[in-house]
Amino acid sequence: MNTKRIFFIAMIFLATIACVVPGLPTASAPVFAPTVDTGPIETMVAGTVSAAITQTALAQPTSTPTSTATATATATATSTPAPTETPTPQAQSTLTKQADGSILFADARAGYQIKLPAGWLAVRVNEQEYLDAFSLEEAANTNIQQSLLSIQTEDPNTFRLLAIDTKAAHIQNDFVTDMRFVLDEKKAISLSSDADLKAIADKVSASATVFRFEVTSVKIVTTASGTKLGVIEAKSSFENAAGANVAIYQKQVFFNTKSGTQSIIFTTVTDLKQTTLPAFDTMLETIDLAK
């Protein structure tokens, strides 16, 4: 497998943590310089990190603005405006609410469908539901606004879906539990052994100094319906506004579709793992690949 591509897939771990960790200082943020063979997923990762750092910084209170721009951003942080651009439909995926409250996400571009948990907010970049989300009652929460804004410049051909757990009780230490769906049409990960997964995991560990990442599990599993999944679990932590250390759990799942490799990244605080992870694992059992 291309070593550079493995490295950048590993960076997804850093990107998703950066999107929700409060108080992350810009000076400590990782900077990803483009290298040879920069592709769609690399662009997505770099953009996600940049947007996340910006939104997190805007949310932090400050009494000593360092510039006019900073003062203006700080003054408006509590009433972050929603994007106003007219969406450009992808016309390659659909979100359909089911009778049980779950949402069926059918991605014709990737070639699969999956049933999202009831009660989660699901949005696609450049689709009307993304703009509408800012008018929802849940979006009055600043942390959910930040999560939504962190994806506004992503390429919808790569960043396929963001799903947010909007339950108030599940937002702890300004951390929002979410799932991010990323499609890489330029590769296919081998699941005949765990070699490719271990190569990705090694890059995660080697690049984990900023967020103190540690990969805890690398394995290949098969769902009840016969879909092979590559699974990498990792843990990290951050210091909240009160100076307390908050543990983070992440589970990244890979599977091959007709057009490439699909990755779904689930991130939550460790204290909520037992509460939120079952819904994610149940969702994985509903993966239906196009024949």
pLDDT digits (tens, 9 = 90+) for 60-118: 443 333 333 333 333 333 445 566 555 555 569 999 999 999 999 999 999 999 999 99
Round to whole Å and give the CA distance between 250 and 273: 9
Residue carrying structure tokens 């400590």: 28
pLDDT digits (tens, 9 = 90+) for 7-64: 445 545 444 544 444 434 333 333 222 222 323 333 343 344 334 433 443 444 433 3
What tokens were used for 171?
């937002």
pLDDT digits (tens, 9 = 90+) for 201-211: 887 765 545 56
Q: What pLDDT sits at residue 127?
A: 93
**CA distances (Å), 139 to each of 129, 154, 168, in order?**
13, 20, 11
Q: What pLDDT sits at residue 214?
A: 86
Task: Name residue 275's amino acid.
Answer: T
Query: Which has the higher per-residue pLDDT, 214 or 91?
Result: 214
Q: What is the CATH number of the domain that holds 79?
A: 3.40.1000.10
Q: What pLDDT sits at residue 177?
A: 95
Residue carrying structure tokens 């360092």: 66
pTM for this model (two decimals) = 0.75
How would residue 184 be classed by pLDDT, with cut points 50, 70 and 90? very high
Round to whole Å and give the CA distance between 70 and 87: 29
What are the beta bridge partners of residue 141?
Answer: none
* Three state DSSP letters for 120-152: EEEECCCCHHHHHHCCCHHHHCHHHHHHHHCCC
User: Is 24:14 a contact under the CB 8 Å cutoff?
Assistant: no
Domain count, the chain: 1
Q: What pLDDT sits at residue 205?
A: 61
Run of H or E including 175: strand 175-176
Q: Residue 47: which domain range?
A: 3-289
Q: What's the rounded mean pLDDT across residues 229-255?
A: 90
Round to whole Å and give the CA distance between 8 and 290: 27
